[in-house]
Amino acid sequence: MREEWLFLGRVADNAANCDIDSECSYNTLCSQEDDIKVLDIPMKASMAASLSIGWRARIRIRATSLTDSPQLAEPIDVLVDLPPDHIFQMLMMTFYHMEIGKFRISATFSSDLKTVVLLRCIIRLRGDGYTIKNINSEDISNTNKAILQEPSSIYSSCWDLSNQVWYEVSFSQDNRYFAAICSGPMSLCDADELEYYDCSVLIFKDSGIADDEPLYETIASSGRMEEVGGISKAIAFHPSAPYLAIGNSEAVYLWKFDNTDERPKKIFSGRIDNLAFSSTGSILSGDSASGPVWFHVDYDSLRQDSPFLEDDYDGRSEGDSSGWTGSDASPATCQEDEDSHHLNPDFVGAVDVADHHPLPTCGTQNPTIAKPTNALQTLHEVGILTMKDRHSPAIQSSGDSLTLTSESGVQRSLLTTDNSAGAIIMQATAADGTTKVADLLRLPKSVLAEKSYTTVINPPAASPSVRFVLNKAPEPTYVFGRGARVQFPIVIERRKDDISIIGMKRLLDWGEDVRGSGKRLKSNAHGGCHLSLNRNHFDAFRI
Amino acid sequence: MFDRIAHKLPHFGRHISLFDRRKQQRPDVVRQASLVQTLGYIFKDILQFCQEACRIFCAKDKGARYKLNVIKDVFWKPFDVRFSDLLSRLDRYEKMYELELNLADREELMGYYEIFDIFVAECSRDRDARDERSAREEMLALRRQIRDIKAWIQPPDYMSTFERESAADSLHTGSWFFENSAYVSWRQSWMDSGRESSQTDFASRVLFINGSPGYGKTVLSVRLIEDLASEGDGPEDERRTVAFFHFDKMDCHFKEPAQALRAILCQIIHKRQDDKELVDAATVLMDVEGSGQAVASEGEVAVILKFFLERHPSTALVFDGIDECSAPQTFLGKLYSICSSSNCRVVLLSRPSVAVPLAWRERCLRIQLQVGANTHDIATYVRPRMEQLAMSELFPAFDIESAVSQVAQRAKSLFLWAKLLMDYLECPALTPDERLSAISHLNLLEGLSPLYTEILGVIQTKFQKERDTAYRAFQWIAVARRPLTILELRTALAIRVGKSSSDLNYIADFRQSLVQICGALVEIHQDSTVQFIHLSAKEFLTDEPQFGHQGNAGNFRIDTTSTHISIANLCLSYIMHDVPHQPLSGSSKICPNIPSVESRFPLLRYSLDWPNHAIEGLKQQTYSGFYKFSKTYLAFARATEEFLQTKRAVAVWLESVWAFGATPDIHGLADCFTSEETSEEKERARAFCGNSSDSQFLDDLMRPKRGIALLAADFEYLQEEWGHLLSNESCELWGTSVNIFHTSELTLGTNAGALLSNSNMKVAKNEDEQGTSIPVCETFSGEAKETLLLTQVSHDGKQIGSLLIIPSQ
């Protein structure tokens, strides 16, 4: 007991010495991780306030290769002062969540690397300088003041911390929008719901008035969704229209976010990861537990007024006819063991041929509706690196699936890092179930130990080599002061003809018995097959 | 009257409904027909009654006359009289029906009883089957558990020596030994050990058997083990366990104390599988409480062994060849700490050179194997071989019994001497006269050394080429880190330093030729490994000669230290010149098939350990040795340099190391080049040489130092960074990925890919960063505390952005 008192006394002394105005060393924070756990809330608030001053961000932009970008021979390297209010909030949330030493920092680049979102600051780079815009600065400042005045109130839920911590941020392809997955404790003063965490998606839009300034404003909020952590890197912007696909642990939602009245609509019950739209947006693909799945999204149906039932988000029974996933689900819905997987037939259809429905006009947007001609030819040309058609980006990163459509079919490629094999693998799955797997690069243990992802830079057709960039992946939480064994990014070039295809097999023919699963696939009355399932992963849905 | 009938009718109604239900539920009941019949009687009477009643009361359509007759009839025969028969019949039938019903019930009950009996029998069968199944599953689980424990203990092959000696010398009965009073006393105390409650002093439970080299102690130990094991069977509480281990200095797997204890523990667990608590204790230690190592640590082995010996005091442990243990005193110390708290018995067989610990000396039982004690056994062994010689006319006619007696007497209890003499006499190079002379002058061959000298003398008389082959075979067998197989030795003898060997360099019919070439000083075991016939033969060949003398072995004397260097050189030569400089499978994308590689390159697995031989050769050498064997050392240095300069040879070696799971101590070799001891000896050698031209070889010897250090660094890097990949796909060493990430002077490099040079990237190449050849980039100035949050490539793939955060300082 005596030791405990002494210990608390020491912690209290340390904390007392760190008054708000003085700069309390970051080292103090790191060395006192255990001590902080026993601090009371006022002390935590005091410590967070003192530590929140003087944080900076460094942004560096360099060419992937000096020869490729002569205009970027001089790299950009800017230091940005971060607002203490945002840092305070981040520290307080870290203390609040009792994850001492693990700091939750949302950060991302826009695809052109001109804009950076860090915490709730939007930084626009221009030349060697930058412009910064802080989102909800005033609200955060007020909340922080209130917490400092009455620190224990952080637990009494009287302060609305919802939407104040951004867990993940993602830009649209044209960088006009970005979506932030936000979370925090419920804003209610209801004691029963203290431990309930709210989660929502916010959409910001750049007004586009000034190129040098990030004039992003909130244009939509999804409203309350699932619990924290339910959304796992499964948000995908439509390539040209204001639609956002959101996947969490239980369902996939499609949200037309330019209409403030609309809420996300559930299009599929079941977990789908790595959501991605095809280049025209007509197909949405992802990974289910049993393998890749593709949806044809019928935007015409989606536009029709179909009520969004918030109850759906609260886990309403799948068989309830009042929900989206009612008994109307045709036999074409997934016949998997997981009965919970249901399509909303109003919005999605299967893909087995290249059928490209025109996209609806959404708001003021006029999405490009171009048929991806010669895509198949491109696939053949690039071989296993099936990551390019006319509308695909020039890069593909791990975890981002890419759906390619062509006259003769559809193909989906996914770049993954297989830690057990220590390899970067590209897997391409065609609609007929044919899967090609290419072993692109083997990785040393130190790279595997770090949280990283790989970006493959699409080579010109004539180029004999492919370029890989091993990137540092954003993490859910960061630990400061930990030295990394590998310094990212690592750029590697590899000859295309040296890349080995490690697996090529035709997985399944329609009507063929599926070994192991004991299922037989048959055409249904509507003239199509609806499920292919075996351990080699391939699902397709057809209505 | 009507009231009575009316009272009965519903009663019968219930009967019929009850009958219907029964019929539906149990249609199979046999008595159903009787019930129907009985009910039929009843209903027949009821119908009759109804007919009568109808006739009386429903005669409106039959005229007044009919009515009158009825009235008259009723008047004359009142109702009571008219239906009394009916009522009595109904009563009787009812009783009959009830009786039938009763019988039917009983029958049904019996049926239920039968069903119940069947059910009980089925249950019993099911239970038995279930018990049997669970017992079988339990047994399987126990066996699995024991298999896991054995794999965890990782014992050496303790049965190999036992089986070899047991099968080889069936004529060596050892019966004379079992009458020894000390042994009898010790054995009796062991037999009584289960009944003793008090613990006795450890030393008093030890039987120490000493005998000179070649006495036949190993065979004696085998007979002793067999004798003790014959007492193993008995009631559960009196069961005795015997566990044993034979040390063997010539085999690295059989000379460490830890290996002996592992072997003992494994035998005990195997023999006492019924002791589930022991098995459970071992499992708990393996899975939960222990260190978690894949292989049990020495401490863990000791703990379980101690636990078991305390539970089973009727255990005897037999250790043969304590003198061949690498650390006899350490072993005895460990044995004491394990066995002192139990009542187990221990037998130790050794040469007299091993000192009995002081603390035991007075209390332990000791048997000094006396000269002449086994003469009869030796004679029994020699006689058939003599007779065979005479029958083969390799010997002139003479008195066999007398010769046998002479040999047995002259052997002076050295079984090995008698065996070697017989091998010598059977040597085809001798004439019958020479054999006769040898028998006649046995006094000249007395003891093992003269006999070895004589055998070497016979080899000496052969052609130079044959002598060289014998000498090289002795060298390989004497210093090999493990017993070589016959195929490996054949390949080893075919190696020509600096050149590739052809089929013409291999000795034909090697298995037969080897023993003849080596004058029966070596033997081929059942597992195809080749070893000296006895440790004393190896010692004879490798013993340091007295100053100024050539030594007993003469030209065949082996200097082990320089021989290690020669062997390292030969191994390198094999890798350099006999194994193609390409992936083992022929393709960098196909994993090698180990059996196929081994059949093509039989010595490759062994050759991978060349650094270990080099270490032995460098570490143990004295300044005079360096001087004396300067040519050998120089040849090794040149071969090493050549090897290090041939990148593809290095790649072959590295791939083979992973493919075979070898553990060459390349770091140890790098340390050797820099160690103070080696440097001191070399400086002394330099001083010994006097002029600088003579000592030039010492400088040349150090030339591979840098290359070896680089190789060690590369090896460590590959182990650390690529071990996960290479252990499964060793061919990847030739692939692009490994060579993109790792560039060094010794590695192959690749033109199929590259780590792009970037303004913020450099590849660690200097010595300070050895082993971390992963790109070290982002060498930011100043900010030490910055943390990289993420990096991202722009959509056009031309730029990379890095975002870092710098906490307040």
Task: Tell me which of A68, A94, A109, A450 to substitute to probe the interface with B (most B C-beta atoms closer than 10 Å).
Answer: A109
Q: Directed axis angle between helix B464-479 and helix B448-460, to 10°?
A: 140
Choice among B8-12, B610-614, B710-714 with the minimum mean pLDDT: B8-12
**Mean pLDDT of the region B459-475:** 90
Which tens digit of pLDDT belongs to each residue from B70-91? 777 766 666 667 677 777 877 8
The three state secondary structure string of B196-223 is CCCCCCCHHHEEEEECCCCCCHHHHHHH
pLDDT grade for B237, boundaries at 50, 70 and 90: low
CA dihedral B267, B269, B274, B278 (to 10 degrees): 150
| pLDDT of A305 strictly over 50 | no
Distance CA B401, CA B741 (A): 78
Using the CB atoms, write b or e for B147-181: b if 16+ within 10 Å: eebbebbebbebebbbebbeebbeebbbeebeebe
- Tokens 């250790």 sit at which residue? B319
Please report the DSSP string for B231-263 in residue order: T--S-GGG--EEEEEE--TTSGGGS-HHHHHHH
- Tokens 């839009």 sit at which residue? A205
Using the CB atoms, write b or e for A394-416: b if 16+ within 10 Å: bbbbbbbbbbbbbeebbbbbbbb
A368 vs B535: which has the higher pLDDT:
B535
DSSP secondary structure letter of residue A423? E
**Mean pLDDT of the region B365-376:** 86
Please report the DSSP string for B759-782 in residue order: TTEE---SGGGTT--S-EE---SS
| pLDDT of A329 strictly over 70 | no
Distance CA B475, CA B479 (A): 6
**Mean pLDDT of the region A427-432:** 75
Q: What is the ipTM of this complex?
A: 0.76
pLDDT of residue B549: 57
Task: Tell me which of A25, A31, A53, A113 to substitute to probe the interface with B (most B C-beta atoms closer than 10 Å).
Answer: A113
pLDDT grade for B692, boundaries at 50, 70 and 90: low
Give A481's contacts (C-beta < 8 A, 6+ positions apart). Answer: A26, A27, A30, B785, B787
pLDDT grade for B556, boundaries at 50, 70 and 90: confident
Q: Quick one: closest CA in A to B728, which residue?
A: A421
Q: Does B781 touch chain A (CB under 8 A)?
A: no
| pLDDT of B235 strictly over 80 | no
Question: How many C-beta atoms lie closer than 10 Å to residue B638's C-beta?
Answer: 18
pLDDT of residue B364: 84
Please provide the average confidence, as pLDDT, over all residues in chain B. 83
Nearest CB to A488: which of B780, B791, B807? B791
pLDDT grade for A541, boundaries at 50, 70 and 90: very low
Task: Tell me which of A20, A64, A415 to substitute to probe the interface with B (most B C-beta atoms closer than 10 Å).
Answer: A64
pLDDT of residue B391: 82
B762 vs B325: which has the higher pLDDT:
B325
The shortest C-alpha distance from A71 to chain B (Å) reads 11
pLDDT of residue A312: 35
- What residues in A contact B774, CB-CB < 8 Å? 444, 446-447, 485-486, 490
Which tens digit of pLDDT belongs to each residue from B602-655? 999 999 999 999 999 888 777 777 777 888 888 999 999 999 999 999 999 999
Give A491's contacts (C-beta < 8 A, 6+ positions apart). Answer: A64, A65, A467, A468, A469, A470, B755, B756, B758, B761, B800
Distance CA A409, CA A389 (A): 13
Nearest CB to A495: which of B737, B753, B783? B753
| pLDDT of B7 strictly over 60 | yes
Is A66 within 8 Å of B759 when comparing Cβ atoms? yes
pLDDT grade for A476, boundaries at 50, 70 and 90: confident
* Candidate ranges A405-419, B204-218, B480-494; pick with highest mean pLDDT: B480-494
pLDDT grade for B712, boundaries at 50, 70 and 90: very high
- What is the number of H-type helices and E-type strands within chain A? 10, 30
Please report the DSSP string for A139-150 in residue order: HHHHHHHHHHHS
Nearest CB to B807: which of A395, A480, A486? A480
Is residue A499 within 8 A of residue A509, CB to CB? The reply is no
pLDDT grade for A513, boundaries at 50, 70 and 90: very low
For residue A356, give the nearest of A406, A390, A311, A307 by alpha carbon. A406
| pLDDT of B420 strictly over 90 | no
Which tens digit of pLDDT belongs to each residue from B472-527? 999 999 999 999 999 999 999 999 888 888 888 898 889 888 888 888 788 888 88
Indicate the pTM of the whole model.
Answer: 0.68
- What residues in A contact B742, CB-CB < 8 Å? 444
Which tens digit of pLDDT belongs to each residue from A3-43? 433 333 344 445 444 443 444 444 454 445 455 555 677 77
Choice among A290-304, B182-196, B315-329, B398-412 with the minimum mean pLDDT: A290-304
Instruction: At B438, list the tokens.
Output: 């040898």
pLDDT of residue B475: 94
Is B803 within 8 Å of A441 when comparing Cβ atoms? no
Using the CB atoms, write b or e for B278-297: b if 16+ within 10 Å: bbebbbebbeeebeeeeebe
Nearest CB to B720: which of A60, A68, A445? A445
- Which residues does residue B241 pair with via DSSP β-bridges, in sequence order? B315
Distance CA A131, CA B381 (A): 102
| pLDDT of B565 strictly over 90 | yes
Which tens digit of pLDDT belongs to each residue from B769-787? 443 334 433 333 344 478 8
- What residues in A contact B788, CB-CB < 8 Å? 472, 484, 487-488
- Which residues does residue A472 pair with via DSSP β-bridges, in sequence order? A452
pLDDT of residue B547: 57
Please provide the average confidence, as pLDDT, over all residues in chain A. 65
Q: Does B727 touch chain A (CB under 8 A)?
A: no
pLDDT of residue A361: 27
**Mean pLDDT of the region B24-51:** 75
| pLDDT of A365 strictly over 50 | no
Which tens digit of pLDDT belongs to each residue from B128-184? 999 999 999 988 988 898 999 999 999 998 998 888 888 776 666 778 888 888 899
Choice among A14-18, A370-374, B109-113 with the minimum mean pLDDT: A370-374
Q: Does B749 touch chain A (CB under 8 A)?
A: no
**Mean pLDDT of the region B417-443:** 80
For residue B667, give the nearest of B713, B603, B727 by alpha carbon. B713
Using the CB atoms, write b or e for B327-336: b if 16+ within 10 Å: ebeebbebbb
From residue B533, alpha-carbon distances to A29, B477, B754 in Å are 71, 11, 57
The angle at the Cα of A341, spanning A225 to A291, to the nearest 5 degrees, equals 105
Question: How many C-beta atoms lie closer than 10 Å to residue B631's C-beta?
Answer: 10
pLDDT of residue B401: 82
Distance CA A93, CA A97 (A): 6
Distance CA B800, CA B791 (A): 7
| pLDDT of A201 strictly over 70 | yes
